[in-house]
Structure 1
């Protein structure tokens, strides 16, 4: 008997009213200078009236708008023609001319990942609070990470909290400290390690900041003006450094007001499909990690996001010979003293990777190939493995005829995940008539679910447009994957 998921009927659609402010960059020094000059020609009365209009129209739509406008002024300040001091009103107005609103989820809100909230205080008995991360896509098909919160009540009902209308991207900390040894290992992989690179890093310590690296590159490059090879190496060094950074939100912001927007050169076209996992280290320390895909419009880059409180995050490049393609998903704990990851380097098969270093992955082992007709095009994971008494439960996606995506599952041995205990021969969730129309037709897709009171909760995207939830009885699913009866599976779980 084939197990099928039960739909909850909840639909989470993109909300175009959720906007955040972004820099409005014209990409032209000449145009920037013209705008600065035009604003400078306004009388104090005209400038005051225009600023009042801006604050009335946009102040209620954003969190700490004036702080952002002043920051934008500082960024365009080098274009001012004189050092004559400006009033704060004039600074705010200039900042407003170089700021824009961005509707981060106007096109789609999809590919959800679900984890338990680290704060379960003041939750009623039988309830449990969760965090839902989503891929939000807006103008220009630029994707970012958005958050929602909710809870599951004592009956298993899923309730989503109405999000705040405010959305804010975080403060970026560019002067992240870099470990020189790790930095040079990545340069070697990128084929940027040579005599030019060595000159550009002379004098940097065992740890260094972005500003220190920029200053050293500037000094060396000044000696070799118009040298294309030096420019190429300098660009590569800075791109790598800017792909490793920290971000901080204000503590008083609600989680659903926080948006992780593309920042680094690798992310210019989006942050895609974050797979969050609650990772418990051998010493009991808990960290939330998310593997995601950075996209610059041409190439995808697997990256890692980490946080302990969803207020402060670190972003790092994933490195190593086997870091490629999409869909890497971290196990929630070490196995045999090593980090473990589900991956898909070749675009169609599922692999298992081990590493002593969370940020470097050098080897892989093939564990699953497309076998059933609904997955002949490709296989992939739908989030991090979930630990059960019977084994590691992994949601998967398969692609079949007409590029139809469906969700299945497989089970791996707890101690040796290279051993596949079982897999579903049929999908447990396929797009129905209400789900197949959208930005990308005929797709259901998830980036990670949870088990709650014997039910597997699967948050999933519908046609790369909106999101929903489905549930599966865990005992029944494990019985199918292990070939045991449901009674035998439950008895085994109780015994363990």
Structure 2
């Protein structure tokens, strides 16, 4: 097996990472009775001011040190409720407003169950970096209560000596917001916004639409350069409703606002589409798995629509006999397109391999690794889903491939793979 340098850093699930999220009640009135929301507001309004202040102090004693700008969050939530219920605000003091807001919020531990399946791209801000070093931006699949997946981010730096330094997580995380009204249930394309005072490392993107209800899974980030030179960060992910899956596309140019767009076409009904970082021959291209077993090359004139595809690779070696899939967007090298793959073998053991595709015609497979580049072993075997190593995207850094990867659906590790040695391993 290839000599891979594994960095000592590991990231783990952390139940202490919590955000405040809206707590929704049914808005409709039951016959002639007030709605649940209106009844709850009325209960607070009927309190005398001292009782309301005392109740608010109890809430703040429990939660103010656990969240960022808690009073402002409660006030913002009150304003949403006020607009929905058309409350008259003149005689409602700040204590009651904040208390009403608190009743319509709840705390959510977004990474309590698992942290896994990362992808990484060059950061949009490379200012001040010494030669040989670069900032990175990493996405992570965070799994919380109800096994609901969301997208978290971490920023960091990788150096010319193969060292990795992640920016410290802020003490408080914030959820990206749609800026939509309380009574609006978005369906289809939606835009979410990072809070103006929140860092990227402190931002979490939660499911918004019915199609996403049970999770945003396995974001595959890519820094995409359009033919006019414009740069955009794209990410394909699986939206899971609890019954059905749908491929969707995240688009952002600044990591402040994120367009979440359902993809169309027959290929979008499957998981794991990974987009090439530029057009080839005037077409967008991607790698997908149409049948749950083989890899397909997809072509399109529209980043949001993917049909059909031609079979590119089938399982060949014993460590991938069950199925193969991509491990993120192809990486451009002088020698061709490096596509990291995953293979599933006996006992459902996942391993990571690699394929080299022709740079001008990616339908041509030039070589592939007969042995895994990385496989579950020793301490990497144990976890929520044992015997799995998996990545959703790596990047070239000097003469190395920097690859964050998930371990047993329970933690995230980091590897540096020499490009030359990787190519020499291929046949």
Q: Structure 1: any 5+ residue segments left out of the alignment?
A: 176-210, 215-237, 484-496
SS of 2:64's equivalent in the other structure is helix
Question: Which structure 2 residues correspond to residues 203-214 of structure 1 after superposition, within 5 A?
Answer: none
CA contact (8 A) 2:75 2:98 kept: yes
Question: Which structure 2 residues correspond to residues 338-357 of structure 1 after superposition, within 5 A?
Answer: 338-357=283-302
Task: Confirm whether residue 463 of structure 1 aligns to residue 408 of structure 2.
Answer: yes
Please point out which of 133, 137, 141 is paired with 2:139. 133
Paired residue for 2:207?
A: 262
Using the size of structure 1 for normalisation, the TM-score is 0.80
SS of 2:8's equivalent in the other structure is strand
Bigger Rg, structure 1 or 2: 1
Give the deviation of 1:106 after TM superposition.
Answer: 0.9
User: What is the distance in 2 between the residues matched to 1:410 and 1:154?
Assistant: 25
Paired residue for 1:47?
A: 52
Paired residue for 1:69?
A: 74
Question: Which structure 2 residues correspond to residues 32-431 of structure 1 after superposition, within 5 A?
Answer: 32-77=37-82, 83=88, 85-174=91-180, 242-431=187-376
Q: Which has the higher helix share?
A: 1
SS of 2:302's equivalent in the other structure is coil
Paired residue for 1:23?
A: 22
SS of 2:157's equivalent in the other structure is strand
User: What is the distance in 1 between the residues matched to 2:209 and 2:314?
Assistant: 34
CA contact (8 A) 1:270 1:295 kept: yes
Give the deviation of 1:5 after TM superposition.
Answer: 2.8
User: What is the distance in 1 between the residues matched to 2:3 and 2:48?
Assistant: 69
Give the deviation of 1:431 after TM superposition.
Answer: 0.9
Q: Structure 1 387/45 Cα, relative in aligned 2: closer, same or farther at 3 Å? A: same
Instruction: Report the count of equivalent residues.
Output: 419
CA contact (8 A) 1:350 1:380 kept: yes
Paired residue for 1:188?
A: none
SS of 1:106's equivalent in the other structure is coil
User: What is the distance in 2 between the residues matched to 1:78 and 1:445?
Assistant: 45
Paired residue for 2:32?
A: none
Give the deviation of 1:401 after TM superposition.
Answer: 1.5
User: What is the distance in 2 between the residues matched to 1:15 and 1:150?
Assistant: 19
CA contact (8 A) 1:323 1:345 kept: no
Task: Tell me which stretches of 4 or more aligned residues in structure 1 moved more than 6 Å.
Answer: 78-82
SS of 1:172's equivalent in the other structure is coil
Q: Which has the higher strand share?
A: 2
User: What is the distance in 1 between the residues matched to 2:198 and 2:329?
Assistant: 28
User: What is the distance in 2 between the residues matched to 1:480 and 1:330?
Assistant: 25
Q: Structure 1 78/458 Cα, relative in aligned 2: closer, same or farther at 3 Å? A: closer
RMSD: 2.2
Q: Structure 1 243/80 Cα, relative in aligned 2: closer, same or farther at 3 Å? A: closer
Q: What CA deviation, in whole Å up to 9, does each residue of 1:240-293 have, x standing for no partner?
A: x62201111234321111111111111110100000000011111100000000
CA contact (8 A) 1:322 1:345 kept: yes
Using the size of structure 2 for normalisation, the TM-score is 0.92
Paired residue for 1:8?
A: 7
CA contact (8 A) 2:267 2:288 kept: no
SS of 2:374's equivalent in the other structure is coil
User: What is the distance in 1 between the residues matched to 2:364 and 2:50?
Assistant: 75
CA contact (8 A) 2:160 2:398 kept: no
User: What is the distance in 2 between the residues matched to 1:398 and 1:167?
Assistant: 35
User: What is the distance in 2 between the residues matched to 1:22 and 1:337?
Assistant: 43
SS of 1:171's equivalent in the other structure is coil
User: What is the distance in 2 between the residues matched to 1:374 and 1:329?
Assistant: 22
Stretch of structure 1 that moved more, 44-53 or 130-139: 44-53
Task: Confirm whether residue 433 of structure 1 aligns to residue 398 of structure 2.
Answer: no
CA contact (8 A) 2:322 2:345 kept: yes
SS of 1:9's equivalent in the other structure is coil
Please point out which of 420, 441, 444 is paired with 2:389. 444
Give the deviation of 1:39 after TM superposition.
Answer: 2.4
Q: Structure 2: any 5+ residue segments left out of the alignment?
A: 29-34
User: What is the distance in 2 between the residues matched to 1:116 and 1:392?
Assistant: 18
Paired residue for 1:207?
A: none
Paired residue for 1:229?
A: none
